[in-house]
Amino acid sequence: MCGRLSQYRGIHDFVAALSIPNALINYVGDQPLERYNAAPSTQLALFHQEGQVLRADMIRWGWRPHWAKDRAAPINARVEKVAHGPFFRAIWSHRAIIAIDNWFEWVDEGGPKKQPYLIRHRDQTPILCAAIGQYPNAEHEPNEHDGFVIITADSAGGMVDIHDRRPVTLSPILAQEWLDPATTSERAEQMVLLQGEPTKTFEWFKVNRAVGNVRNQGRSMIEPMEDIESSNKNDG
């Protein structure tokens, strides 16, 4: 998975997609997030559950343990190793959901520059990505070490043509179970290994190469290339 995504809807749109009736502690705000081209280290809205309460915080994309000071903060964790490897051991039980609108991948199509593609749900509903991290809770105040990583798996069924890794995304029912503190570590591992959404749930299309520059934002970052080209022809 390449390190770029969009999270532009408002927090309540993402809560609705989760279909969790629990009370919400909202540290994000009610306005649209408008992050059309979010890169690693960006503060993004992250959901986690405390008891029966759902909490939303703005957390940095990327995390590393305190003892790995000389290593860059990873933004993703491979599903094949995350539950048992030492690197993420401290946060494996700190499960979260990062709800996004889409993510981007770059493909070498033989030109001078790689072509960016946008990947989203076919029905354009929010995508619920399994994540783990260090984040504030009732006993832990926000601090500089907070962060999260997205769990990734091998791509399959056609999406491998775009990229060989992709986020592990969950249906709303499984996302609820993933967030539930009562869900065992063994069950959580089973979900991300075996029950992620299938490739047929998604569609993908070319977008403007301007998305390659993180300073470029706005809805033009998520428009299909064919729509942009058609608009340019009409303007001409």
Q: Is the pLDDT of residue 107 over 60?
A: yes
Phi and psi torsions of 207, nearest 5°: -130, 170
For 78-96, what is the mean pLDDT? Answer: 93
Q: Is the pLDDT of residue 234 over 60?
A: no
CATH 2.60.40.10 fits 5-235, yes or no: no
Catalytic residue (one of 2, 50, 144, 229):
2
Domain boundaries, given as residue ranges, for the chain: 5-235
Q: What percent of the chain has pLDDT over 90?
A: 71
CB atoms within 10 A of CB 21: 10
Catalytic residue (one of 105, 177, 186, 203):
105
2 among known catalytic residues: yes
Task: Place 208 in a pLDDT band, splitting at 50, 70 and 90.
Answer: very high
Residue with more model confidence, 51 or 172: 172
For 85-101, what is the mean pLDDT? Answer: 95
Question: pTM for the full model?
Answer: 0.91
Contacts of 233 (CB under 8 A, 6+ apart): none
Q: Is the pLDDT of residue 175 over 80?
A: yes
105 among known catalytic residues: yes
At residue 111, the pLDDT reads: 80
Mean of the per-residue pLDDT values for the chain? 90
Q: Are 56 and 179 in contact (CB under 8 A)?
A: no
- Concatenating the DSSP letter of every residue in 86-104 gives STTTTTTT-EEEEEESEEE
Task: Place 17 in a pLDDT band, splitting at 50, 70 and 90.
Answer: very high
Q: Is the pLDDT of residue 231 over 70?
A: no
Structure tokens at 104: 């981007």
